[in-house]
Amino acid sequence: MATSALMHRFPTALVLGLLAAMARAGSAGAEQSPSTMDTFQSIEAISYEVGSKRAVGYFERVDGKCNVTLLIAEVVDLDQAPPTSAARLNLPRTPGQSAAVESEEREAMVFTCGTGAWTVEVKRTSAARS
């Protein structure tokens, strides 16, 4: 198989694996609470609940940029309902540049491309509970 054909199939296989992980994670019940700020390396799995949604993805370092890819779908209990389809979001960022994904429930994930695009930092924020 040619290298270029392999490189085009790898992201597809990774996305399919992430969808499977999203379905399993949605049925897992209690989830550990992630820290306020996490740092990810290229193609390391990123997975968070943001309000009623689950965001699963990764980032790749391409041409000195962080290309963040996320699949976003409703959190579902697979014992109660089939998984819903996910929306795919691509966020190319230059080093130091940020992007936010926010939910209606006022929770957010802020992605910041690290120095040289070697890492991505994810900061979670939520509205104060009253």
What is the mean pLDDT of the segment spanning 77-85?
A: 85
- pLDDT at residue 7 greater than cutoff 50: no
CA dihedral 119, 69, 124, 41 (to 10 degrees): -20
Residue range(s) defining the domain that contains residue 36? 3-126
Residue 15: closest CA among 70, 92, 63, 67: 70
pLDDT bin (cut points 50, 70, 90) of residue 11 is low
Please give the tally of structural domains in the chain. 1
pTM: 0.68
Side chain identity at residue 124, one-letter code: R
d(CA 123, CA 100): 9
**Contact assessment for residue 97 and residue 86, using Cβ atoms and an 8 Å cutoff:** no
CA torsion sign for 98, 84, 60, 65 is negative
